Amino acid sequence: MLSLLFNLKKTQTLEDKVIDIQNGNVELKDELINDYKPFIAKTVSKVCKRYITEMDDEFSIGLIAFNESIEKYSSDKGSSLLSFAELIIKRRVIDFIRKESRQQTVKLDSQINDEETVQNKYEVDVSVDNYYKKLEEEHRRDEIFHYQSVLKQFDLSFQDLVENSPKHSDARENAMKVAKEVISNSEFKRILFEKKRLPMKDLEKEVEVSRKTIERNRKYIIAVCIIMASDYTFLKEYVKGVMDN
């Protein structure tokens, strides 16, 4: 009664709704997707550099990607649903554009029969390649901005990473292994993203690295954990490159 009188009923957040949907609320899922169609269209339009409507194929790709974001979202990602969804939508639309461009190139290949057509194919190839590069540069920039916002939640900055990154390759590799252990252990991962700290006491029992070393590289380890736990395409390639060296 008091809740009704003073309007004290707790408002369900977007992330709360996602949890409800993941638990089987199909009706809420349809409602959420419909409510966020403008967000989807705006995000797809940014990638395509033109106004996108619900009639465009690219919008359909964005719709599917938003649905995927709802299904895959977790607070462990270290970001809001919309921030996570934006990354997924952009990635899926870029993949779609790349696939469509390849099909057009194959079609043009089959039509080559004179010098003018060969020149046209060359111009198309160059144009498509430049377009890919521009899209990837924008996607890489989006990932970095998103990553920076998540780092702030842990009271970290890029400057911290520069100052605290292990100087030797062996030390970096050991830090990566510790990060991998954190992400592969659901309880360690939960503590990291909920309490914004490493479970030092339990972690040192699971890795062949001293507590002193873990503490010295704490900021770097957390930064790597965030990348491993998230859906970053380009930043994950960096981590993979360090691990493979």
**Right CATH for 14-102 from 1.10.1740.10, 3.30.70.360, 3.40.50.300, 1.10.357.10:** 1.10.1740.10
* pLDDT tens-digit series, residues 143-172: 888 888 888 889 998 888 888 888 888 888
pLDDT of residue 241: 56
Q: How does 61-86 read in b/e, with b if 16+ C-beta sit within 10 Å?
A: bbbebbbebbeebeebbbbebebbbb
Helix (H, G, I), strand (E, B) or coil at 98: helix
CA distance 110 to 105: 9
* pLDDT tens-digit series, residues 196-235: 999 898 888 888 888 888 898 999 999 999 888 887 777 7
CA distance 232 to 226: 10
CB 123 within 8 A of CB 100: no
Give domain limits for the chain. Answer: 14-102, 158-244
pLDDT of residue 61: 93
* pLDDT tens-digit series, residues 47-100: 888 888 889 889 999 999 999 889 888 876 666 788 888 888 888 888 888 777
Q: Cα–chain-centroid distance for residue 17?
A: 20
Q: pTM above the 0.85 mark?
A: no
